Amino acid sequence: MGCCRSSIIYDPKKFLSIDQYLKGVYTEDGSKRGEMKKRSVKINVRERVNMRQGHLYQFYEIAEVLGEGAFGCVHKGIQTTTGFEVAIKSIPKTFAKRTDDTNAIIEVEILRTLDHPNILKIKEVVEDMRNYHIITELCTGGELFAKILSMKNFSESMASGYMLQLLSALAFCHSHHVLHRDIKPENLLLQTESHDSPLKVIDFGVSNLNYDTSMLNVKQFTSIYYRAPEQFSGMCSEKSDVWSCGVILYLMLSGYLPFKGKNEKQMSESIARQELSFQGIEWENTSEEAKDLIRHMLEKDPELRWSAKEAFKHAWIQNGHSQYLLNRSISESGFKNLSRFRCSIKLKHAALEFIVSQLTHTKELYQLQEAFIAMDYNGDGRLTREELMVACLVMDYSRDEVEGILNECDANMNGYLDYTEFLTAATNWKKLMSKTKLRGTFEAFDLNRDGFINIAELKEMLSNDHNVDEDVWIEIFNEVDINKDGKIDIDEFEEAVLNKDTFR
C-alpha cells in the first residue's frame, strides 16, 4: 500500500526542494517563471499542498496501521482540529532525499496536479526531523480484488465499470505526462465499503514525469506479472501502463493470469513470446467485445498497442459507460446548484474549493463524484462544453446557460470544468458548510499561524501564478479586509465565505 519510491528524469543539477515545487516559483525544468504581469487570478487551490513543520502528533491522532511498504508505513489518522479521517504515509528522509528511485518530492508533485475522481487525493505534507508524512484521503473499501473475491456474482458489466474508471484515470495521467509504472491489483482501492464504490488509483511512488511521451529507458518497478514485454528490455512508455490494465482485465474475467512462469526468466519469455489465449471454460460466456479489447491492450508491440484513451473509446467500455449512466446522472438539484453558482469574491471561491478538496468526507460528495464520471463521456477527467450541453439537454437548459456555468465555475480559466471545480459549484453548500470546516480553512490559509491572513498568504494560497499585477492582489484582499487594517481576521473571513451569493 505504500508508495515510497520515486523515479525522476530531471537533471540532478536542477533538482528542486519540495518547497520550491509546491510554491510554484519554478517551472518544471527548474527555471524561474517569467515577469509578465496579469490582470486576472486563476484560482488553483486544489494544487496547493501545505507543508507543515513540526511533530505529526501536533496535527493528527495516529490510529491503526493500514499497510507497509519498502520504505515506510501507512496509518489511519484523525486531524485534531476537524476530526477529519485521513491516511498518513511516513517516509524516512534517508530515502526521500535520494535523487534516483526513492524521491517522495516527485510523488507529492504528481499527486497534487492530478485532479481526477479516480486518483488518490493528497491533502498536505508534515515534515519533522526524520520523516516526511504524506497526508492523503482515506480509502475504506479495501483492495478491488478482495472485493471481487468476496462477491458471489461478478459480471462483465461490473468489470467494464471498473475498467472505465481505471482507463479514465490513466488517460488523465498520460495527458499530464505521468507514467504510473506500477499498475497492479494492490494499487487499486475502493473509496468506500459501498457495493458500487468508485475506484481509486494509488501509489505513484515509482511514477515518472515524462515530458515528451517517448519511450523511456528507465529502471523498472512494475510487478513482474503485470510487466509489458518492452519493460524487460528496460524500456517504458504510457503503453506499458495499458498492458498492465490488460492483464488486470484478463484476470478479472477469468480468475487467472494470461502468462505464466515459475521464475522471472520464464515469466519474461512467456510474456514476450506466448500467444494470448482465451481457451478454457471461464471464457465460454465472455463476450467477443471484451476479448477484443484485451487483445488490443495485450498487443506485444507497444507501437501497435492501444493507448488508454483509445481503449476507453472501445465499444465494450462505452456500453459499460451507458450502464454507468443509468443511476448516476447529476440530479436536478445538483444541476440547479451548478447553474446558480455565483462567487464574485476570489477568496471565497478559493475557500470553497479548499473545503471540497481537503476538508470534506467522501460520503458527502459521493453522488456528485459519480455524476462527474457519468458526464465525462470522453474519459479525459474534465467536462467540456459539449459534455455539459448533453447534460443540459436532459435538464432543459440553453447553450447560453452552459456558457454561464463555465464563466462562473471555471476558476482556473482553462475552458473546462475540472473535477474540483465541478464539485465546488454543484455542492449544496447549505448542507455541506460548517463552522469546523470554516475554521479549518482559515487555519490552513493562515500560513504563519498568527491568527490572521495577510496579503502574502493570500497570494500563496489562491494561485501558483506569480505574474499577477500587484493591484489585482490588493483589490482581492480589500474585498475581504473590511476594517482596512491590512489583515483578514476570522470574522472577516467567515463573513466573506458565508456571503449569500452562493447559498441561494
392, 402 contact by CB (below 8 A) = yes
Partnered with residue 236 across adjacent β-strands are 216
What CATH superfamily is the domain 12-137?
A: Phosphorylase Kinase; domain 1 (3.30.200.20)
Return the pLDDT at 188. Answer: 96
> What phi, psi does 68 have (nearest 5°)?
-135, 140
Return the pLDDT at 367. Answer: 87
Q: Which helix (H) or strand (E) holds 136?
A: strand 131-137
pLDDT averaged per 10 residues in sequence order, the chain, 504 residues: 37 39 43 48 83 92 86 89 92 68 70 93 92 93 90 87 95 93 93 90 74 53 88 91 97 95 92 95 95 98 97 92 67 84 89 92 86 90 91 79 89 92 93 92 93 95 82 94 96 90 54
38, 468 contact by CB (below 8 A) = yes
Partnered with residue 60 across adjacent β-strands are 79
CATH of the structural domain 144-325, one choice from 2.40.128.50, 1.10.510.10, 3.40.50.1110, 3.90.230.10:
1.10.510.10
Q: pTM for the complete prediction?
A: 0.86
Q: How many CB atoms lie within 10 A of CB 140?
A: 17
Q: How many CB atoms lie within 10 A of CB 483?
A: 10
**CA nearest 354: which of 462, 490, 464?**
462
Find where cell 462544453 sits: 385
Q: How many helices (H) and strands (E) does the chain have?
A: 21, 14
Reply yes or no on whether 182 is catalytic: yes
Residue 89 labelled as part of a binding site: yes
332-497: CATH topology is: Recoverin; domain 1 (1.10.238)
Give domain limits for the chain. 12-137, 144-325, 332-497
Return the pLDDT at 220. Answer: 59
Return the pLDDT at 326. Answer: 60
Catalytic residue of the set 19, 100, 128, 182: 182
Q: How far apart are CA 329 and CA 428, in angstroms?
A: 16
Return the pLDDT at 97. Answer: 61
Residue 490: alpha-carbon gap to chain centroid = 30
15, 109 contact by CB (below 8 A) = no
Q: Which grid coordinates belong to 355?
A: 473545503
**CA nearest 86: which of 107, 61, 69?**
61
Return the pLDDT at 368. Answer: 92
